[in-house]
């Protein structure tokens, strides 16, 4: 792999934004983007889980490859992700109970966030080395947070504007996401 760490980061953050270009993690993107106050912590929590999951997945993949057990990859990745979400939950509960309550149900749902599993699967498929994997997952997480924060800001403004009844709700969010995605396409080719 000849990609430099910086290219991987820019690609994951902007040009191939996880949410807007690769369609990963859409459920929290549509679900939690109503308010800016919850969108940002959610993005940070997801980024943290991504980093932990990526680190574990990297080690695990070495182990599985050594024993030729590649068919167990998916099952073991998902178990690792579930445990790291549990870990984040316990850490948050101990050190920041307020944030823990604010995130509520969305915290355990990070387990089924396809962006997290996507990071683990893509870094394996692209054969990234250790540094590349970590940079990739950090860029992806930052891109996820960016998309979530942008979407939440636009939606907060929209609650004050006069929208036709028919388009209220998810249809409106999807149209918004489409326009955001359109503008993110302007970054294509940035990462070389």
Partner 1 sequence: MTIANTPQTWDEFMEGVWKQNPTFVMILGMCPTLAVTVSAVNAISMGISTALVLIASCGLVSMMRNVTPKEVRIAVYIVIIATFVTAVDYAIQAISLALYDALGAFIQLIVVNCIILGRAEAHAAKNPPMPAMINAAGMGAGFTIGLLSLGVVREILGAGTLFGIGLFGAGFQPWVIMVLPPGGFFVLGAWLLFFAWLERRKLRKAIPLAEAAQHV
Which residues make up the interface to partner 1 (CB under 8 A)? 20-27, 30, 71, 74-75, 78-79, 82, 111-114, 117-118, 121-122, 125, 166-167, 170-172, 174-175, 177-179, 181-182, 185
* CB 4 to partner 1: min, Å: 23
Q: How far is the CB of 73 from partner 1 (least distance, A)?
A: 8
Cα distance between residue 182 and residue 53, in whole Å: 30
Taking the C-alpha atoms of residue 127 and residue 140, their distance in angstroms, rounded to an integer, is 16
- Which is closer to partner 1, CB of 23 or CB of 40? 23
Q: Nearest approach, Cβ of 33 to partner 1 (angstroms)? A: 13
Considering the complex, state which of residue 6 and residue 27 has its C-beta at the smaller distance from partner 1. 27
Q: Which is nearer to partner 1, 62 or 74 (CB)?
A: 74
Whole-Å CA distances, 65 to 68, 76, 81: 5, 13, 19
Residues 49, 23: Cα–Cα separation, whole Å: 18
| Least gap, CB of 149 to partner 1 (angstroms) | 18
What whole-number distance in Å separates Cα of residue 139 and Cα of residue 17? 9
What is the rounded distance in angstroms from the CA atom of residue 133 to the CA atom of residue 126? 10
């Amino acid at each position: 792999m000849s990609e430099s760490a910086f290219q991987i980061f820019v690609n994951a953050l902007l040009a191939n934004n996880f949410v807007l270009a690769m369609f990963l993690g859409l459920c929290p993107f549509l679900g939690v983007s109503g308010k800016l106050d919850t969108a940002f912590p959610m993005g940070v929590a997801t980024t943290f889980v991504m980093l932990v999951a990526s680190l574990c997945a990297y080690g695990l993949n070495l182990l599985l490859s050594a024993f030729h057990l590649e068919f167990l990859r998916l099952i073991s990745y998902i178990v690792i992700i579930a445990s790291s979400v549990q870990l984040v939950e316990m850490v948050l509960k101990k050190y920041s109970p307020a944030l823990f309550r604010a995130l509520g149900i969305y915290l355990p749902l990070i387990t089924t966030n396809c962006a997290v599993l996507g990071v683990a699967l893509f870094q394996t498929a692209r054969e990234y080395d250790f540094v590349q994997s970590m940079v990739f997952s950090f860029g992806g997480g930052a891109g996820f947070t960016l998309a979530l924060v942008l979407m939440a800001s636009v939606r907060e403004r929209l609650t004050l504007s006069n929208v036709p009844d028919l388009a209220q709700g998810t249809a409106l969010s999807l149209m918004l996401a489409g326009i955001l995605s359109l503008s993110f396409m302007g970054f294509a080719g940035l990462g070389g």
